[in-house]
């Protein structure tokens, strides 16, 4: 499933980063996501949740009540900051120049999309299947070893390029993913000064994105974005209901 592939690619890219780069990702407030328990995509659960979504109430409607995703849930599950500067900015008619300057990657004139294959390969993320008998950890480590060959191992100008490329992949293919394989440039202006990235309320933007995705047609069957968020929230709510039943509440 596409969501699983996106999660694996971004996780491998993170594991391949040298320690000082992973420290920078931590300082930006994104580190907790990569410590999230690895879970399989559950299409049935995701589709069931989607079918329960009320676009007017912005809540999941169940026979026993409502479940409303909140900023507290976002902070608890993802570790993303829900306070800070708004994740907003200008929408450029053409991202060619800024993509060339900040990513050193080609973006067609009048386009707002980063070529996905070029972006992944710039991070050493080449297509590779899982070997027979290979565990998940062994698979991830093998892909990460290949990726490390393409990344700068010491601080310098290249490391900023590497980190921006990683963040564009992370934001565009995981945290704010949409249907399809496109990687949008819309967050690129916020990555110009890497020292400012951690000052944005990424958690609030993430929750707004979840609402937007859930309000799309319930006929969608693909799972996009950071699927562990909804699955974790559903499991937490289920446990709470069970505890209430056992206590007689």
User: CA 38 to CA 53: how far, in whole Å?
Assistant: 25
Most distant pair of Cα atoms in the chain: their distance: 63
User: CA 144 to CA 184: how far, in whole Å?
Assistant: 24
**pLDDT (0 to 100) of residue 155:** 92
**Which residue range is the domain that position 150 belongs to?**
2-247
Quickly tell me which residue has 């009048």 as its tokens. Answer: 110
Contacts with 245 (C-beta within 8 Å, 6 or more apart), sequence order? none
Domain count, the chain: 1
Contacts with 193 (C-beta within 8 Å, 6 or more apart), sequence order? none
**pLDDT (0 to 100) of residue 3:** 55
Cross-strand bridge partners of residue 183: 114
Tokens of 161: 């390029």
Q: Is 35 helix (H, G, I), strand (E, B) or coil?
A: helix
**pLDDT (0 to 100) of residue 180:** 66
Cross-strand bridge partners of residue 113: 184
User: CA 12 to CA 46: how far, in whole Å?
Assistant: 24
**pLDDT (0 to 100) of residue 94:** 85
Angle at 35 between CA 29 and CA 41, to 5 degrees: 115
Rounded to the nearest 10 degrees, the angle between the axes of helix 2-16 and helix 136-148 is: 60
Angle at 61 between CA 56 and CA 66, to 5 degrees: 95
**pLDDT (0 to 100) of residue 64:** 73
**pLDDT (0 to 100) of residue 1:** 45
Q: Is the Cα dihedral 98, 99, 100, 103 positive or negative?
A: positive
Measure Cα distances from 95 to 78, 141, 164, 182, 208 in Å. 29, 34, 15, 14, 24
User: CA 104 to CA 167: how far, in whole Å?
Assistant: 14
Q: Is 237 helix (H, G, I), strand (E, B) or coil?
A: helix
How crowded is residue 130: how many other Cβ atoms within 10 Å of its Cβ?
A: 14
User: CA 152 to CA 19: how far, in whole Å?
Assistant: 11
- The pTM assigned to this predicted structure is 0.87
What does the pLDDT profile of the chain (249 residues) look like in tens digits?
Answer: 455 567 888 999 999 999 999 999 999 999 999 887 665 667 777 777 778 888 887 888 877 777 888 899 999 989 999 999 999 877 888 888 999 999 999 888 778 888 888 999 999 998 777 888 888 889 999 999 999 999 999 999 999 999 999 999 999 988 988 766 678 888 999 999 999 999 999 999 999 998 888 876 554 545 555 667 877 777 776 666 655 555 555
Q: Is 19 helix (H, G, I), strand (E, B) or coil?
A: helix
């Amino acid at each position: 499933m596409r969501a699983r592939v996106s999660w694996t690619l971004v996780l491998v890219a993170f594991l391949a980063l040298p320690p000082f780069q992973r420290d920078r990702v931590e300082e930006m407030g994104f580190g907790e996501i990569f410590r999230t328990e690895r879970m399989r995509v559950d299409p049935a659960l995701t589709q069931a949740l989607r079918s329960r979504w009320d676009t007017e109430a912005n809540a999941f409607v169940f026979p026993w009540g409502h479940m409303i995703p909140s900023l507290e849930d976002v902070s608890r599950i993802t570790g993303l900051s829900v306070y800070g500067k708004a994740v907003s900015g200008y929408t450029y008619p053409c991202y060619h120049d800024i993509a060339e300057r900040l990513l050193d990657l080609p973006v067609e004139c009048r386009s707002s999309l980063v070529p996905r294959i070029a972006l992944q390969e710039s991070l050493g993320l080449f297509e590779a299947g899982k070997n027979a008998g290979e565990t998940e950890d062994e698979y991830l480590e093998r892909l990460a070893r290949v990726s490390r060959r393409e990344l700068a191992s010491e601080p310098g100008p290249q490391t900023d390029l590497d980190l921006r490329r990683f963040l564009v992949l992370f934001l565009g293919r995981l945290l704010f993913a949409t249907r399809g394989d496109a990687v949008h440039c819309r967050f690129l202006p916020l990555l110009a000064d890497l020292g400012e990235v951690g000052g944005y309320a990424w958690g609030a933007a993430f929750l707004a994105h979840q609402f937007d995705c859930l309000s799309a047609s319930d006929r969608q069957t693909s799972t996009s974005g950071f699927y562990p968020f909804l699955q974790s929230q559903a499991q937490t709510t289920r446990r709470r209901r069970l505890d209430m039943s056992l206590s007689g509440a």
